[in-house]
Structure 1
């Protein structure tokens, strides 16, 4: 189904909004002033979260710089490179879920929505990441509800992946840190939510709350399993990122333990959503678990440097995605228009 030219209404149905690609009425056209105000607010929000993330990196750099100065520069470079690849796999997991929910978005556009939006986690009250992802997606024709479901499920898939990897450390956790075992109560719930029927039901529920049409078909098992596989790969690379920072002080076989430590740290930090990016919670879990094979001082140094690298990686990947989207503007806009759920997408 094609759209009528923007700014024109269909002569036989002058009072009806233009149809969307899935046959549902589009939102009523916004007044020009309101549309401009929303666009300005989106940019203000984007600039604000970039400012918060940059400010956070600057504030911790004073503590990080002396630690980095004592580390092997090649280990640092390799660790950061592996971290960036892990972040790309995490984006692929998110894109897999978005596509599985019925909206095909080019990878660069998807990365822009996901990576720029997630910088909102650096604003106190990490729910801002979801708000920003929804707003960026909306301006390129993706329903807010669809972006929200993809982001929430990506977080859930990450929890399941972290707990699967965390199982390798269950003996040590039960002896040294039994307070972390409660996290594994989330595993059966997470696995149940990954069932295609459950995911389809929950996605349609959120779409209904946002007054959007239901999914045209049930989510496939390949979508959930594919996202889980990409997420597991991402965490394994994060574990390798930590191991490289040890400069060989820990045996290579501990990569799984490091991956589990970072994964469980991310999961625990989800419950500290008031703190910017779960600061402090993730480091506490990371130090506790890596401290099983390193000294407390070494574990603390690695946790501090890793936090700085993740912040730098978030800023770098978000900037790269935004720049790539800018350079591919014409091609991406054509794709946006072809798959848009709204007629008022940003040119």
Structure 2
């Protein structure tokens, strides 16, 4: 004879799940608001330091530089979407843009984990498991580091000439190149998931997706280098060699900022690398000012891109919502 189910307990279980869902929903909103506040705070803090310089630069240089940053940031969701799809996750590119761009605001809060956490929660809200979203974010970041070190090699002449202390960044490159092969990359990701007591990848990552992500990541750093070069040429002509140098500088600076995860958006670490490399073609004073201007422009683009993506997704959902 089986024991009868308590009707009260059966009714309480769905109610408890509903309360948990409401709590998770509000925690997700609080988390997004926290990282948004961090980004806005950084924007307010940076503005007084670069206001005069930014307004004194030719508007064409500033506009084209902004466009380069927008293009570079816009490649991020495409890379994340490609990796997520390869890991078995399905989501519309507009949702991927909102997840990735809003999540990236987490870097303005000390600790890089916040960006991944926000992306996981936003992905969960549109039906993507946290495990798949976390996998896509980690793999995207890892391939981005490999791409940055490859394009960062363009700054090696400057580093070898007087800033050899930055050579340690390239220690990561041999291991990164090994992980470009699908088998070791899949093994390491699955091993990491098991460590976190999560199921491993359902299928191995593929070479086409890895190479696509790597190529688009390299394109991101080329665009970021173009952004810095456009600002630099407004101060002094540095030619095509200067463009290559700026690509290398921005690549290594972004990696240094990522590794300095305990700083909001790697503030300080990124500027040190940019100034060290730019000082080989520009006076150190203007080089430092451009590094700070670059950071301000990044903050503006991050906020505008995240806000635009979130607004677009919200408008699309409103348009497609069924009429009752």
What TM-score results when the alignment is normalised by the length of structure 1?
0.84
Residue in structure 2 matched with residue 70 of structure 1 by the alignment: 56
Distance 1:208 1:331 in 2: 41
Shift of 1:212: 5.0
Out of 214, 220, 223, the position equivalent to 1:234 is: 220
Greater CA deviation, 278-287 or 258-267? Answer: 258-267
Distance 2:65 2:16 in 1: 48
Q: Is the 8 A contact 2:154 2:247 kept in 1?
A: no
Q: Is 1:185 aligned to 2:167, yes or no? A: no
Residue in structure 2 matched with residue 218 of structure 1 by the alignment: 204
Q: Is 1:282 aligned to 2:270, yes or no? A: yes
Greater CA deviation, 147-156 or 272-281? Answer: 147-156
What TM-score results when the alignment is normalised by the length of structure 2?
0.89
Q: Is the 8 A contact 1:145 1:210 kept in 2?
A: no
Out of 304, 315, 324, the position equivalent to 1:327 is: 315
Runs (5+) with no aligned partner, structure 2: 1-13
1:305-320 equivalences under 5 Å are 305-320=293-308
Residue in structure 2 matched with residue 202 of structure 1 by the alignment: 188
Residue in structure 2 matched with residue 48 of structure 1 by the alignment: 34
Q: Is 1:95 aligned to 2:81, yes or no? A: yes
Q: Is the 8 A contact 1:146 1:207 kept in 2?
A: no
Shift of 1:194: 2.1
CA shift digits 1:133-176 (9 cap, x unpaired): 11111121111121112111111111111111122222321221
Distance 2:154 2:27 in 1: 46
Distance 1:211 1:187 in 2: 29
Out of 75, 99, 106, the position equivalent to 1:120 is: 106
Shift of 1:210: 5.5
Cα pair distance change 1:291/1:29, threshold 3 Å: farther
Residue in structure 2 matched with residue 144 of structure 1 by the alignment: 130
CA shift digits 1:3-47 (9 cap, x unpaired): xxxxxxxxxxxxxxxxxxxxxxxxx99611111011001001111
Distance 1:330 1:207 in 2: 36
Residue in structure 1 matched with residue 7 of structure 2 by the alignment: none
Out of 239, 242, 266, the position equivalent to 1:254 is: 242
Pairs aligned (count): 307
Shift of 1:213: 4.6
Shift of 1:221: 0.3
Residue in structure 2 matched with residue 157 of structure 1 by the alignment: 143
Greater CA deviation, 75-84 or 91-100? Answer: 91-100
Residue in structure 2 matched with residue 19 of structure 1 by the alignment: none
